[in-house]
Structures are given as C-alpha cells and as structure tokens.
Structure 1
Amino acid sequence: MSIGRSVLRLRSTLVVVCGLLLASTMVFGQGDGIPTDETSISAGMELFDGNCSSCHQIHEKGIAPALKNVYERRDVKWLTKFIKHPGKTIESGDAYAVALYEEFKPTIMPNQDLSDEEILQVLAYVKDATIKGPAKPAAEAAAASTGAEAGTPQGMVVSSNLLVGVIIGLLVLLGIVLIVLVILANVLTQYLRQQKGLEAEDEAYINEKFSLAAIFRSQVFVGLASFVFVIVVAKVTVDALFAVGIQQGYAPEQPINFSHKLHAGYYEIDCKYCHTGVEKSKNANIPSANICMNCHNSIRQNSPEIQKIYAAVENDQPIQWVRVHNLPDLAYFNHSQHVKVGGVECQTCHGEIEKMEVVQQHSLLTMGWCIDCHRKTDVNAKGNAYYDKMVEMHDATSKEPMKVKDIGGLECAKCHY
C-alpha cells in the first residue's frame, strides 16, 4: 500500500508540475519570460512609443539598432540590465554592449527609468511586432466627400460655386442673345435695303455704318456691364467674408529649422514623444528644449541649429516657437478628448505632418469644418463602457452607427460657454 500511495503521489506531483509548465508557457511564451497576452502587448506599445520610438524601429536600423528578434540575441536578464543602465554595461566591458557602442557612437542610449515589468511589456510588444512582420503601407485615404481635399466646409463650396455658376451662365446667355440680335439685325437690314419707297430717315438708318463706340455707349451695354460688375464684386466680397479668420496654409518661420519630415517621417518618432500632452491635456503642448536634448546631447552637436537648443538650455530660456494652429478664445477644444477617447489620428486635422519640412496649417479649423466632422464621424464606443447605454438606446431607434452629433456634438455649449 505504501508503494501504491507513493506512486499516486508521484503521479499527482507530475500532473501539478506539467500544469504549471503549461500555464507558464501560455502566459509567458516559449520559456523566455516575455508575456504574450494582449494587455501586456498594448501596454508595451505605449511604453515603446513614449520611450523608445525616437531612436529605435522594429524592422529597420536607424540611429539605433533594429529591435527585431532582440530577445533572441540577448536574454531578458541582459536586456533588462542594459536598458536600465546602458552606460555602465558598456563601461563594464561587455563585448556585445561595446560592439553596439562602436557601431552607433557617439549616440548612446540614456538610462531608462522602467521597472522590470515594464521592460517585459516593451519586449512583449517587440516580440509581437517581430512575429507579425513589417506593416504594409496602407493606401492613401480619399479626400473628404464635401469640400476640397483640405476639408472645405460644404457651405463655403456651395456659396462660391453658386456665384461662379451664375456668372458663367449669364455670360453664356448674353453671348447667345448677342449673336441672335446680330443675325436678326443683318437679316432685317438686307431685307429693308431691297425695299423701295422708304422714307429718308429709314434709309439713313439702314445705311448707317457700324460703330463700336456707339455700342459701348448704349444703355443696354452699360446696364449689362454694370450688372456683371456688381455680381463679380459680390462674389469677391462673399469669398472674403468666408475667409475671415481662416489661416489655412499658414507656415511661419520658426526660430529653429525643425524638420518634421526628418523626425516624424524618416526616423518615425511618435508624435506623443515630443507633444507629451496630446493624450492627457487640453493642449498638445510645444516640446521643451529638454526633450530635444534627449537625443541631441550626443547627436549632431556641432550643427548651427542644434547650437540654438544648447544656447536656450544654457541660458535657461524657452525657445520662442511660433504657434501654427490657433483657435479663437471663444472656442473650446480638447486634444485628449479627441485623440485618447475619440481615437482621432493626428493626420486627420494636421495633414501628413510626417511629410512636411516646414509645418503649415492643413485644415480650415472653422466652425463649419468641425460641425461637418461631428456629423460624419462615428463615436468610438468599442471597449468603452461609458457609451454602452447610449449605444443601446441609439440602436433601438436607428440602424445607422451612432455619430458624434447624436451625443451632443452639435450643441453650441459644447464648444462655446
């Protein structure tokens, strides 16, 4: 019996151990300690965007090594030590760390204030991105259905096009009337010339030579010309009134020649790395010189433009950036509400900022432009319990997706109070 019990206990122990190993594999992957659950990957993506993406890419080498398969090149323990203290790891003479420094010097990664759990989350995202492979370039979105590509409000387009159509229609109509009148005059003149017994006054009128000056002095011509002039002036005036307060295309000269095309485009630095308040504040905020120095304390130190950053830091003076996108004080806009909750991409309002050498105002930023967006945009309610009841009530009365206008997006007090 004792032998039987021992065998049973041994079997039970083996079952428990196998269960633990299976659970560990399911949670942490294939024995490397890196999580594979969606929560860790999502958290790792945010940490990567905020701390790593300014220098590192997953599949391509930039100013720092590509991180594809980095968990296979080094174990988690080594990666954790290096991420927290890269300088000390290099000074210790670690061959791999020294080789990295020699390849990318003088750039050296600053110490990362991340916990072990956060580093595992970053590695979870890197591993997930490695397995999925490089993202395929998406086709460019079509232009907005109303207005021009820049997002012209429908009201402005209709008003301007209506006036242009009226002018063109009138000119065509006047041209047709003029041709008909000339033909009728010639036919009548030829007919009257063949008639006999006409009075002297009629003969003088028929034989009168054509005078262009007389046409210009005629009341008909003066009246028509005056009418066309009034229409043109009205169109110019209406267009000018619609353009009041619109700064579309505004691209001021900045104190430092900063290229978004280089930083956000070529190096793929995430917008949130520099504009730290975009997801948690009303304003996206202009980055301070300290954020620039995270990279430029060792990159292109001798550049004349970078020297301006050094001067600002040494003199403890902020860089006097010129604001490009500015709403009137009477309008309230919250970046975090649109970016974090609404899931609106930066390019939706700011255009392809990653292709701009000099930043310019891409959209109109008018009230009509905002309202048009609220009428068309679906509420990003997925995974947000705050909207569950609203979606339920909306779906009970409508088959259309719930739009921003359906939750008060057209109420005046939402933006003006």
Structure 2
Amino acid sequence: MHKRRPISWLIPWIKNSSKVVASGDEYAVKIFNQYQKQQMPSFQLSDAEITSIISYVAAESDKPATAAAGGVTAENAGKVDGADGGAAAGAGTGNSTIDILLIVLVVVLLVLVVTLVIIANIMKDVLRGRKDLDGRDVEQLEQRFDFSKIYKSPVVRGLALGLFVLVVLYESVQGVMAIGLAQGYQPTQPIAFSHKLHAGENQINCSYCHTSVYKSKSANIPSANICMNCHSQIKTESPEIKKIYRAIERKQPIQWVRIHNLPDLAYFNHSQHTQVGGIECQTCHGPIQNMEVVYQYSPLTMGWCINCHRETPSTRRATATTTTS
C-alpha cells in the first residue's frame, strides 16, 4: 500500500477509511468494492505513529525474501522467557500464611526433639563417669529406649490423627476456594503470536490491534484483517502467517483460545478502567510486553479487584464513577 499511495493519502485512510470512501475518492471506493465492501477498522493513532508504522512496513518489505521467511514458528511457540515462565509457574501457587506457619511449627518441633536427644546423651555420659552409682542406677542408665512405646501411645496416635485431619481439612478448603481460578493459565494458541515481539521489541501500541480497548466494555480480539495490515508485506513466507492467509481465504475467524474470563455475575467495563481510570495494561495483565505466550497473570478474584479499588486514588475512582453513572 505504501508503494501505491502517498503518505498524505494513507494517514486519513488509516484513521477513518469510511470517511475517505464517503468522500468519493476513486481509489478508496475501488478498494471498498473490491473487498466486498468490508470496512477497515478505524485507528486512534497520531500522524507520527502512522508514519512510523508505514516506515517500518516499507523497510521490512524491502528486505530479501529469505530474511522474511524466518518468522515465528510453531516450534518455538511454546518457549517462554525464563522470568515470565517462572512468573507463570508461580502465579497460581503463592505461599499462604498457614503454609508458612505449618513449616515453622515442624521445624521448631524437629529442633526441640534434636535438642532433647543431645541433652539426654550428655547427661548419660556425665552419669557414667560417676562411681557412686549402685546396680539399680546402672541398670536404669544402660536401659535402651523403646521407640515402639511412642507410636503405640494413645496420646501420640491422637495427635497424629488430629494433625492428619487438620491437613486434609486445610487442603479441602484450599481446593474449594480455588474453584474457578485460572491464574497461570497458558493455553496453546492456533497461531504462534508473540506479544514480546510485537508489543515489546516493535513497541506496537495495544490499541492498534485491540481497537476497542479504550472505548468499549470489552477489549476486542483482533481480526485477521488487522494482522494483514502489516503481514501482507512482512514475513509473508512464515508458516504461522500462512495460517492467517488460509483463515481469510476460507472466510473463517481464527479460533483464538480465551485466557481471561470473568464470571457472569461480575460487571467489568474495560474503557472505564483504561480510558477514564487511566489504568495501565500491565496492572491486570502483568508484563504482557515480555510474554512470548500470554498467560493469566492476575488471579482476577473479587478480593483482588476490591484491593485494587482500595489502593487506587479516590479521585480516579470518583471520575470513573461519575462518567459511568
């Protein structure tokens, strides 16, 4: 496109293609009719941002075809950066206060038992060195401790049973509380899309692909047409990009796997948080710009949301409430 039309024409076309078509522009009307009158999404980008994107597309399209063929493949789709993988693995298994207390209790008991055994052995050695002991004392001193009496004791068995019941009860409660939570969820997507490459290295703004992120209740999943804005020229030989071509040819949407999913009882307005509240994407989605494969970073529980609202400055909350009321 950058070779067929000047930048002065492309800027208004990218911002609002419908307006250009309505103006009667011959080339715009031709494209509109050629592609079955499908409207291209409008993008809230500045002239400088559009110019930068077109410059990048132009530079990439001028590279040899062999360089363009080395795109993202399914082979490396599952590889996640070490720090991000660690975050994903640890996202759903945080150490609770009860876990820490149990560990401390076990360590204290072990230290106490070892200390008592050491003291007992020291006292025996001292007593063995005394010569005023009679036969009965020597017999008691040399008597070996019968460990079978410990585990046969009703008190010890009762304590062991009580501890077992507490552990089972605790794990059951934790399991019930975790129902519906998907923190750390990282499904394999039908196309190996790297946020680290697009949002991180190439610094593409989130709203370029998720066009409704600042103006709608939901952040939309990008259509294949948005991908083709760049990939009609860039990495056209990549196996992953060819999957996008096939989806367009078959006129079928790409079956992306949903990662973040709130229950039906929860009302969440994306634009109220991003546009009105000024919340950054990373607040909920974590270091999305570093993720090769996206995973659910936050628990997205009611308690987590409430804590965020408690910690958010009251003026920002008031603005968001006034706007939606």
TMscore range, shorter length: 0.5 to 0.7
Q: Match for 1:270 among 183, 189, 205?
A: 205
Kindly state the Cα deviation for residue 326 of structure 1 after the two structures are TM-superposed. 0.8
Alignment: residue pair count: 258
Corresponding position of 2:104: 168
Q: Distance in 1 between matches of 2:177 and 2:61?
A: 59
Pairs within 5 Å for 1:104-253: 160-169=96-105, 171-173=107-109, 175-176=111-112, 179-180=115-116, 183=119, 187=123, 190=127, 196=134, 208-253=143-188
Specify whether residues 179 and 372 from structure 1 end up closer, same or farther in structure 2 by C-alpha distance, changes over 3 A only.
Answer: same
* TM-score (norm: length of structure 1): 0.51
Instruction: Write the letter of the residue equivalent to 1:176.
Output: L
Q: CA deviation at 1:305?
A: 1.3
Q: Corresponding residue for 1:300?
A: 235
Structure 2: any 5+ residue segments left out of the alignment? 1-42, 66-86
Give the equivalent residue in structure 1 for 2:46.
Answer: 48
What is the one-letter code of the residue matched to 2:100? V
Are the structure 2 counterparts of residues 64 and 344 from structure 1 closer, same or farther at C-alpha, using a change threshold of 3 Å?
farther
Following superposition, the deviation at residue 64 of structure 1 comes to 4.0
CA spacing shift, 1:162–1:102, aligned 2, 3 Å: closer
CA contact (8 A) 2:181 2:301 kept: yes
Q: CA RMSD in A?
A: 4.2
| 1:363 matched residue in structure 2 | 298
CA distance in 2, matches of 1:304, 1:174: 58
In the alignment, does 2:191 pair up with 1:261? no
Alpha-carbon distance, 1:274 to partner: 0.8
Q: Which has the higher contact order (CA 8 A, sep 6+)?
A: 2
User: What CA distance in whole angstroms lies between the structure 2 residues aligned with 1:315 and 1:104?
Assistant: 29
Question: SS of the residue aligned with 2:191?
Answer: coil
Task: Answer whether contact 2:88 2:184 (CA < 8 A) is retained.
Answer: no
Does residue 290 (structure 1) correspond to residue 225 (structure 2)? The answer is yes
Aligned to 2:257: 322
Change over 3 Å in CA distance of 1:203–1:266 after alignment to 2: closer
Q: 1:277: Cα distance to partner? A: 1.1
Q: Per the alignment, do residues 173 and 212 of structure 1 end up closer, same or farther by CA in structure 2, a change over 3 Å counting?
A: closer
**Quick check: 1:254–1:321 contact (8 Å CA) kept in 2?**
yes
8 Å contact 2:57–2:233 — kept in the other structure?
A: no
- Find the counterpart in structure 2 of residue 141 from structure 1: none
Are the equivalent residues in 2 in contact too, given 1:343–1:380 (CA < 8 A)?
A: no
TM-score for both structures, normalised by structure 2: 0.64
Asked whether the 8 Å contact 1:54–1:267 carries over to 2, the reply is: no
In structure 2, how many angstroms separate the alpha carbons of the residues matched to 1:344 and 1:49?
Answer: 25
Q: CA deviation at 1:193?
A: 10
User: What is the aligned partner in structure 1 of residue 3 from structure 2?
Assistant: none
1:337 CA displacement: 0.5
Does structure 1 residue 348 correspond to structure 2 residue 280? no
Task: Tell me which residue corresponds to 1:136.
Answer: none
CA shift, 1:174, in A, is 6.1
Letter in 2 for 1:251: Q
Cα offsets for 1:171-221 (capped at 9, x unmatched): 4146426744774698599599966596xxx99766543333333333343
* Cross-structure match for 1:41: none
Give the superposition deviation at 1:297. Answer: 1.8
Query: Unpaired runs of 5+ in structure 1?
Result: 1-44, 66-100, 107-147, 388-403, 409-413
Equivalent-residue separation in structure 2 for 1:252 and 1:176 (angstroms)? 47
**Contact preservation (8 Å) 2:124, 2:141:** no
